[in-house]
Amino acid sequence: MSIDLTFFNQIETNMEEESLRKDEIFRCVRNYEKTCRYITAILDRVHSASPEEVPRIIQTALEKYSEVKQHLAQLSQLVPYHQYYRYNDLWNRTLQTSLYQAELIIYLKFEKLISLEELEDLCGVEDILHSFIALTNELSRLAVNSVTSGDYNRPLRISKFVKELYTGFQLLNLKNDALRKRYDAIKPLVYNKNDDDNIPIEFTFNCNINENEMQ
C-alpha cells in the first residue's frame, strides 16, 4: 500500500497559510499594543493631575480608545471562525490591558464598575476578571498620588470601591490557578492598614485638615 504524497503537499500549503495568517495577526497586534501604550500614557496623567484636570484627561483617553475597537474588528476578520483559542495567546495580554483601561476610564468618569454588557462582546469572562485585578492595583497607586495632588476624598472612595470589588470576587469559585493567585494579591490592598484607609487620616493629622474637608 503506497502513501498518497499529495497529503503532505496539502499540509505544506496549510502550514504556509497559517504562517502568513500569524504574520498578519502579529502586525495587527503590534498596532493594538501601540494604541494601548498611548492610552496608558494618557491615563498616567491622572496621577499628577488636579481633580479639575481629570475630566479632560478622561475625554482624551476615550477618543483614543475608539481605535481599540478597530483593532479588535481587524483581528476578528483575520482569525478563522471557531479558531479563536488557537490564536488568542497572541493578543490575550494586550486585550486584558485594554479592558483594564476601559474599566479605569469608566471608574474615573462615573466612579462605578463597568458593566458586563459593555465588555462581554470584546472578550471572555476570565479576561474581564484579570483586568479587574489590574484595575485594583492601579487604583491603589492613584489613592496615594491623589493625596499628593491635594485630593483627600478620593482615597476614601477608592478604598470603598476596591473593598466592594473584593467582596464580589469572594462570591466566585475560581478554578483558574493564575486568576486565583492574582485575586489573592487584592487582599493586601483591602486589609493593609498602611494603605488606602490610612492615607487621608495621616495627611489630615499632619496637615491639620479639618475633618469636614474630608467628607
Question: Could you count the other beta carbons within 10 Å of the beta carbon of residue 200?
Answer: 22
Question: Could you count the other beta carbons within 10 Å of the beta carbon of residue 113?
Answer: 15
Band (197; pLDDT cuts 50, 70, 90): very low
If one compares 69 and 28, the residue with the highest pLDDT of the two is 28
Cell numbers for 91: 493578543
Q: Cα(93)–Cα(90) distance, rounded to whole angstroms?
A: 8
Classify domain 8-116 at the CATH superfamily level. Answer: Translin; domain 1 (1.20.58.190)
Burial 82-93 (b: 16+ CB within 10 A, else e): eeeeebeeebbe
pTM of the model: 0.72
**CATH fold group of domain 124-215:** Methane Monooxygenase Hydroxylase; Chain G, domain 1 (1.20.58)
Say yes or no: do domains 8-116 and 124-215 share a fold: yes
What sign does the dihedral 199-201-207-213 (CA atoms) show? positive
pLDDT per residue as tens digits for the range 76-116: 889 887 887 788 889 888 998 999 999 999 999 999 988 87
Band (120; pLDDT cuts 50, 70, 90): low
Q: Cα(162)–Cα(136) distance, rounded to whole angstroms?
A: 6
Contact 43, 65 (CB under 8 A): no
Roughly what angle, to the nearest 10 degrees, separates helices 6-43 and 54-78?
180
Listed by start position, the domains of the chain span 8-116, 124-215
